C-alpha cells in the first residue's frame, strides 16, 4: 500500500462530492491506523483459518489411524492380504464404528462373496476390536436385504435380511470377535 | 529480510572479505535449493509416469518412457517432494530478495523456471482430470455436434475421451467461457492424445506469457522483476498443479496480466478489452476490471470492456446459442459445489458441523460482497487497484466452498507485482494452509 500524499484529481464527479468521498489518485499520508486495522483483521482471520486447517488435519489423521487399523484387523482375521477393501467409516457421528468388506477368495474387488466386519473401539497395537460381521453375495453393495450369516453384534442387532446363505455360496463361518 | 523492498545497509569497513564469503555461501545455497527443486520435480514426474496412482488421473500413455525408471507415485513420496520443493522455493525467494548478495542471476532464474516447466510439460497429466473435460467439450462440439453448454460429456459416452473424464463431471455442462471453448475446438480433431499435447502446449505457452507479463509489470511498477518472476514461476503449486494439470487458469491469468500491463502502459481501452476476454475464458479473470475503472476514472476502459463483452456475447450467441451467454447460471451451479479442502468446510468442521449448508453459501456470498465493496471504496480513495484485485481473487478462493490448488494461483502474479506486500504474505499463507491440509497421509500412512 502506497503511503504517498493523496494527490486528489477531482473530476466533474469528484468536485460535487464531500472531501471524505472524493476520488484520490493515491492514498493520503497518515493512513497507518487504517492499515493497522486491516492487517489486524487479516491476521485474526488467518489465525482462524490456521486453527481450522490444523483441526481438520488432526481429525483426518485420527480417521487415517483408524483406517490403517481397520485394514490390518481385516487382513489378520481373514488371513487374506488383499489391497482393495471397501470401507465405510462413520466419521460424522463419532461412534468409531466402521464396516470393512472384502472378498472371501481371490478375485477382482466385489467379484466374489464378501465378508464384512464391524469394528469398534480404540486402536490397540495397530488393530481394533471386531464386534461382529456378516457375508454378502458377489457383486452386491452392502444392503440389509442381501446380508447373511450374521455373527456377533451384527446378529444381535438383526442386520441380516437373509435367514440362510444363498445357494452355491461358499462356507460362511462366524469369525472370532474381539481384537485379533 | 523483507521481500525486495529493503534499502541497502551501509557496509562496514573491512567487510569485503566477509561479503565475498557470504556471496559464495549464498550462491552455493541457491544452487542447492535449485537442485532440490529439480530433483523433487523429476521424482514426481517420473513416478507419475508409471501410472496406477490416485494422484495421476487415468490418461493415454503420453510419458510411459519416463516411467521405466520410476515407481508408482504414492502420497508419501509426492508430499515429501512437494514439501522439499516448497522449502527450496522459500529459500530461493529469500536469497533473491537479499540485495546484499547477488546469489541468483536473472539468467539463472529464467533457466531454473524453464527447466522446471519443461520437466512437467513432458510428463503425464498430474492431479486432475479437468483437461479431459476440456477435450471432451471440444469433441462434443466439433466431432459430435453437441452443444457443450447444454449437455455434459455423458452425451458422448462412446467417444474415446469419455473414459478419462472425471466421474463427477460427466453430466456437467461446461462452465468455461466461450472464448476458451473455441480455443479448444482446434484440438478436437487431433484425437485424444494429440488434443492432450495441444492442451499441454496451450498451458505451457500461457504460463510463459504470464511470466513474461509479470516481469514486464514488475518493471513498470519499480518492483524487482527477477523476484516477481521467481515468486510466480518457481512456485511449486504453479508448475506442479497448474501446469501439471494443463489448467485453463493459466490462460485466464495470461489475459488478466495482459490487461494489467496494458493499463499500466496507458492503453486503457485495450486493457479493459483484454480483461473481458480473460473473463470469457474463465469468469474469475473479470475481477480487476471494476478496480481498474475506479482507479482510472476514465471512459476508455469502460468502452474497451463493453466492446469486448459485446463481441464475446455475439460470438457465443452465434456459436453456442443463448446457453453460451448464460454465465450466471453456470457460476451459480458451480458455487454450490463443496470440496473437503475448502476453508468454509474446515471452519464448519471446527464448529462441529459435518459440512457447509445452503445458508452458509448465502453467508459466504454476503461476506464476499462486503469485502469487494470495501476494496472498491479503498480503490476509489487511492488504494492500489492491482492489489485490490489480488485481494478480491484471494477472497474468492478463501470463501469458495470448492477450493482447488490452482485457485490459489489466481492471486499469485498480482501479489508478485503488488506494492502491498501484505497481499503476497496472505497469498503464501493461504497456499501453505492448503498444502498443510493435504499432509495427513504423511502423518499416518494408509495402505
H/E/C letters for each residue in A133-170? Answer: EEEECCCCCCCHHHCEEEEEHHHHCCCCCCCCCCCCCC
**Mean of the pLDDT values across residues B327-339?**
76
Nearest one of B245, B153, B168, B248 to B206, comparing CA atoms: B248
Q: Would you state the pLDDT for residue A2?
A: 40
In a domain, A9, yes or no: no
Q: Is A13 on the interface with B (CB under 8 A)?
A: yes
B426 to A27: CB separation less than 8 angstroms, yes or no: no
Q: Are residues B306 and B277 in contact, defined by beta-carbon separation less than 8 angstroms?
A: no
Phi-psi region of B353 (alpha: psi -120 to 50; beta: other; left: phi over 0): beta
Task: Find the farthest-apart pair of alpha carbons in chain B and give their distance in angstroms, rounded.
Answer: 76
In a domain, A120, yes or no: yes
Nearest residue of A to residue B383, measured between CA atoms: A27
Q: Would you state the pLDDT for residue A104?
A: 87
| Cβ within 8 Å of A, B 382-401 | 382-384, 387, 398
Inform me whether the pLDDT recorded for B228 exceeds 90: yes
Inform me whether the pLDDT recorded for A91 exceeds 70: no
In a domain, A5, yes or no: no
Kindly state the helix (H) or strand (E) to which residue A102 belongs, with its residue range: strand A98-103
Q: How many domains does chain A have?
A: 1
Highest mean pLDDT: which range of B58-62, B139-143, B237-241: B237-241
Q: CA geometry: angle at A41 spanning A37 and A44, to 5°?
A: 135
Q: What DSSP character marks residue A24?
A: B
pLDDT category, A4, cuts 50, 70, 90? Answer: very low
Q: Would you state the pLDDT for residue B382?
A: 86
Q: Is A16 on the interface with B (CB under 8 A)?
A: no
What is the rounded average pLDDT for all residues in chain A? 83
Nearest residue of A to residue B388, measured between CA atoms: A1
In a domain, A24, yes or no: no
Q: Would you state the pLDDT for residue B18?
A: 60
Q: Are residues A23 and B297 in contact, defined by beta-carbon separation less than 8 angstroms?
A: yes
Q: Which residues of B touch A63 (CB under 8 A)?
A: 440
Give B290-321 pLDDT, tens digit per residue. Answer: 999 998 888 888 999 999 999 999 998 888 88
Q: Are residues A47 and A22 in contact, defined by beta-carbon separation less than 8 angstroms?
A: no
% of chain B with per-residue pLDDT over 70: 96
Give B82-120 pLDDT, tens digit per residue. Answer: 999 999 999 999 999 887 777 788 999 999 999 999 999
Give B360-370 pLDDT, tens digit per residue. Answer: 888 999 999 99
Q: Is B352 on the interface with A (CB under 8 A)?
A: no
Domain range spanning residue A156? 31-180
Q: Where are the domains of chain B?
A: 24-134+173-326+337-443
Q: Is B446 on the interface with A (CB under 8 A)?
A: yes
In a domain, A13, yes or no: no
Amino acid at each position: 500500500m502506497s503511503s504517498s500524499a493523496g494527490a486528489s484529481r477531482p473530476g466533474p464527479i469528484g468536485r460535487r462530492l464531500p472531501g471524505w468521498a472524493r476520488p484520490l489518485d493515491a492514498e493520503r499520508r497518515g493512513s497507518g491506523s487504517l492499515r493497522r486495522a486491516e492487517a489486524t483483521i487479516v491476521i485474526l482471520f488467518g489465525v482462524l483459518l490456521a486453527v481450522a486447517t490444523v483441526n481438520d488435519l488432526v481429525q483426518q489423521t485420527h480417521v487415517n489411524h483408524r483406517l490403517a487399523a481397520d485394514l490390518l484387523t481385516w487382513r489378520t482375521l481373514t488371513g487374506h492380504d488383499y489391497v482393495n477393501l471397501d470401507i465405510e467409516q462413520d466419521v460424522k457421528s463419532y461412534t468409531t464404528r466402521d464396516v470393512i468388506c472384502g472378498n472371501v477368495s481371490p478375485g477382482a474387488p466385489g467379484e466374489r462373496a464378501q465378508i464384512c466386519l464391524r469394528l469398534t473401539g480404540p486402536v490397540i497395537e495397530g488393530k481394533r476390536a471386531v464386534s461382529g460381521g456378516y457375508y454378502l453375495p458377489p457383486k452386491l453393495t452392502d444392503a440389509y436385504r442381501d446380508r447373511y450369516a450374521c455373527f456377533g453384534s451384527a446378529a444381535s442387532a438383526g442386520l441380516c435380511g437373509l435367514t440362510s446363505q444363498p445357494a452355491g455360496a461358499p462356507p460362511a463361518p462366524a469369525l472370532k470377535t474381539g481384537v485379533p | 529480510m523483507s521481500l525486495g523492498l529493503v534499502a541497502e545497509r551501509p557496509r562496514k569497513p573491512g567487510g569485503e572479505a566477509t561479503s565475498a564469503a557470504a556471496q559464495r555461501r549464498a550462491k552455493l545455497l541457491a544452487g542447492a535449493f535449485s537442485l532440490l527443486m529439480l530433483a523433487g520435480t523429476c521424482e514426481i514426474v517420473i513416478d507419475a509416469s508409471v501410472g496406477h496412482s490416485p494422484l495421476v488421473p487415468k490418461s493415454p500413455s503420453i510419458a510411459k518412457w519416463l516411467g521405466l525408471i520410476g515407481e508408482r507415485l504414492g502420497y508419501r513420496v509426492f508430499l515429501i517432494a512437494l514439501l522439499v520443493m516448497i522449502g527450496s522455493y522459500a529459500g530461493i525467494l529469500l536469497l533473491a530478495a537479499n540485495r546484499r548478495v547477488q546469489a541468483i542471476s536473472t539468467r539463472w532464474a529464467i533457466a531454473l523456471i524453464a527447466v522446471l516447466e519443461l520437466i512437467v510439460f513432458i510428463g503425464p497429466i498430474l492431479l486432475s482430470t479437468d483437461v479431459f473435460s476440456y477435450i471432451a467439450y471440444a469433441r462434443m462440439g466439433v466431432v459430435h455436434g453437441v452443444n457443450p453448454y447444454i449437455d455434459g460429456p455423458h452425451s458422448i459416452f462412446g467417444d474415446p475421451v469419455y473414459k478419462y473424464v472425471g466421474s463427477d463431471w460427466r453430466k456437467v455442462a461446461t462452465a468455461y467461457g466461450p472464448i476458451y471453448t473455441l480455443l479448444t475446438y482446434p484440438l478436437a480433431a487431433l484425437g485424444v492424445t494429440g488434443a492432450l499435447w495441444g492442451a499441454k502446449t496451450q498451458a505451457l505457452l500461457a504460463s510463459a506469457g504470464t511470466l513474461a507479463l509479470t516481469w514486464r509489470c514488475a518493471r513498470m511498477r519499480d518492483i524487482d522483476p527477477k523476484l516477481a518472476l521467481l515468486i510466480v514461476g518457481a512456485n511449486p503449486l504453479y508448475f506442479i498443479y497448474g501446469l501439471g494439470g494443463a489448467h485453463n487458469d493459466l490462460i485466464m491469468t495470461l489475459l488478466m496480466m495482459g490487461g494489467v500491463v496494458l493499463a499500466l502502459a496507458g492503453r486503457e481501452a485495450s486493457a479493459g478489452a483484454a480483461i473481458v476476454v480473460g473473463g470469457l475464458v474463465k469468469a474469475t479473470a473479470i475481477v480487476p476490471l471494476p478496480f481498474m475503472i475506479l482507479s482510472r476514472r476514465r471512459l476508455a476502459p469502460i468502452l474497451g470492456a463493453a466492446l469486448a463483452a459485446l463481441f464475446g456475447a455475439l460470438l457465443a450467441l452465434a456459436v453456442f446459442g443463448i446457453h453460451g451467454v448464460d454465465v450466471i447460471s453456470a457460476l451459480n451451479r458451480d458455487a454450490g459445489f463443496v470440496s473437503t479442502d475448502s476453508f468454509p468446510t474446515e471452519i464448519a468442521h471446527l464448529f462441529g458441523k459435518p459440512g457447509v449448508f445452503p445458508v452458509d453459501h448465502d453467508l459466504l456470498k454476503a461476506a464476499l460482497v462486503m469485502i469487494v465493496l470495501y476494496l472498491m471504496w479503498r480503490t476509489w480513495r487511492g488504494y492500489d487497484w492491482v492489489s485490490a484485485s489480488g485481494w478480491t481473487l484471494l477472497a474468492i478462493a478463501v470463501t469458495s466452498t470448492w477450493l482447488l490448488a490452482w485457485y490459489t494461483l489466481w492471486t499469485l502474479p498480482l501479489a508478485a507485482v503488488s506494492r502491498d506486500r501484505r497481499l503476497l504474505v496472505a497469498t503464501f499463507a493461504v497456499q501453505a494452509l492448503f498444502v498443510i491440509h493435504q499432509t495427513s497421509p504423511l502423518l499416518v500412512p494408509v495402505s
